[in-house]
Amino acid sequence: MSRVSFFLPLSLFALIVGFAYFGFSLGDRHELPSALIGKAFPEFEAQRLLVDAESFSNEDFAGRPALVNVWATWCPTCLSEHEQLMQIAAQTDILLVGVNYKDDVNKARRWLAEYGNPYDAVVVDMNGDLGVQLGVYGAPETFLLNARGEIVFKRVGDVNPRVWRDELRPRLVQMGAVVESFEVGEVSSQQPLPLQPLP
Amino acid sequence: MRWQSVLLLVLFGSAAGFAGANSPVDIYQFDSDAEKRRYHALIEEFRCPKCLNTNLAGSDAPIAQDLRRTVHRLVVIENLSDAEVRLYLQDRYGDFVLYDPPFSRQTWLIWLAPFGFVLLALGAMAQLLRRAGAQPQETLSATQKQRLKALLDDD
């Protein structure tokens, strides 16, 4: 028995452990990297949810940083991130745009009336075509746009206090947006809420 | 006789209803058979972003329906080529939708690993062969040959 064949099982084992460590540390396989980071927000024109006979297009982003939040009433995670969006709306000067995704218009209006409306504008994407433009595959998803209308960051899943503190807020401050320093809700250590599949 | 035929009708009707409710078949118009074939080949080719290992053709997920509708629009109304359709989806959903990911900074290891394994195997084989060749040939002395012959001739 030579030295090579003595060490072969051990090195094979080490190799397998290495692959397993790498594989399990890859994180959530359901979270796809966005192909749109660094690109301009796609051109679109959509009906508004709350203002009749008025449409909204990418030109209405009007030279300031914006958050575009894809949400729906069928998505419980959207409800759980709602409070965070309300806070962001109250304490920043950024444009907050909601995309009501594959939803019922009346349910959506009732939802905003009941829980409050954090958005400067809500556009309707009834059949998901704008969603396809944005590479959306579930809800909620949130895009951060700089003042030139380019997508700089995408969050798949809820905007929770941790995401606000670690991802969104620093980028907004860097862009020069007015962000009042406010205590975000307690940053919990629990797992982020899952992305909701479509209904 | 009449009630049996009514029962049959009800049974067939409900079966058809179940089939319609569960099958991921969309009804689309095509201008030509060539377009239809291209559409079907394309939806076979792309991976549904929501379901980790199902293609667009085989998935019931609403996002897959949306993407089938998109592919149909690109092929029939906007007359894009296959390559342009691929690029359109890749631009929005990334390499994930392609079952055949392009060679890139993230994928080079996967693409090159098989060649690496073949090289390793060839190296190992070469070493084994060389070691076998280097082993001294066993030769028998004259007396040993005689003994061998005696043994073999015994029977």
For A54-63, how does the pLDDT look when each residue is reduced to its tens digit (9 = 90+)? 889 888 887 8
Chain-centroid distance of CA A169 in Å reads 14
Q: What is the CATH number of domain A33-175?
A: 3.40.30.10
User: Residue A121 pLDDT more than 50?
Assistant: yes
What is the least distance, in Å, from the CA of B3 to any CA of chain A? 40
The DSSP output letter for A60 is: G
Higher-confidence position of A28 and B83: B83
d(CA A92, CA A19): 44
Confidence of residue B17 (pLDDT cuts 50, 70, 90): very low
Find chain A residues with C-beta within 8 A of B90's C-beta.
35
Find chain B residues with C-beta within 8 A of A199's C-beta.
62
* Rg, C-alpha atoms of chain A: 21
Domain ranges for chain B, please list them: 2-97, 103-132
Q: What is the mean pLDDT of residues A90-103?
A: 93
CATH architecture of the region B2-97: Orthogonal Bundle (1.10)
Instruction: Look up the ipTM and state it.
Output: 0.76
- Any idea of the CA torsion for B21, B22, B24, B29, to the nearest 10 degrees? -30
Residue of A nearest to B67 (CA): A132
Instruction: Judge whether A68 and A41 are in contact, CB under 8 Å.
Output: yes
pLDDT (0 to 100) of residue A35: 83
pLDDT (0 to 100) of residue B123: 95
Q: Where does residue B89 rank: exposed (0-12), middle (13-18), buried (19+ CB within 10 A)?
A: buried
What is the least distance, in Å, from the CA of A142 to any CA of chain B? 15
User: Residue A191 pLDDT more than 60?
Assistant: no
User: Residue A26 pLDDT more than 80?
Assistant: no
Burial string for A60-98 (b: 16+ CB within 10 Å, else e) reads bbeebbbbbbbbbbbbebbeebbbbbebbbeebebbbbb
pLDDT (0 to 100) of residue B117: 95
Q: Tell how strand A141-145 and strand A66-71 pair up.
A: antiparallel
pLDDT (0 to 100) of residue B37: 93
Which of B91, B93, B97 to mutate to probe the A interface, most A CBs <10 Å? B93
Q: Do A32 and B61 touch (CB under 8 A)?
A: no
Residue of B49, B69, B90 lying closest to A137 (CB–CB): B49
pLDDT (0 to 100) of residue A13: 94
User: Residue B29 pLDDT more than 50?
Assistant: yes
Domain ranges for chain A, please list them: 33-175
d(CA A176, CA A181): 14
Q: Do A137 and B50 touch (CB under 8 A)?
A: yes
* Interface size between A and B, measured as CB pairs under 8 A: 50
User: Residue A76 pLDDT more than 70?
Assistant: yes
Residue B109 near chain A (CB below 8 Å): no
Confidence of residue B20 (pLDDT cuts 50, 70, 90): very low
d(CA A72, CA A75): 6
pLDDT digits (tens, 9 = 90+) for B35-63: 999 999 999 999 998 887 889 999 888 89
pLDDT digits (tens, 9 = 90+) for B82-133: 999 999 999 999 888 888 878 888 788 889 999 999 999 999 999 999 988 8
Burial string for A20-54 (b: 16+ CB within 10 Å, else e) reads eeeeeeeeeebebebbbeeeebeebebbbbbeeee
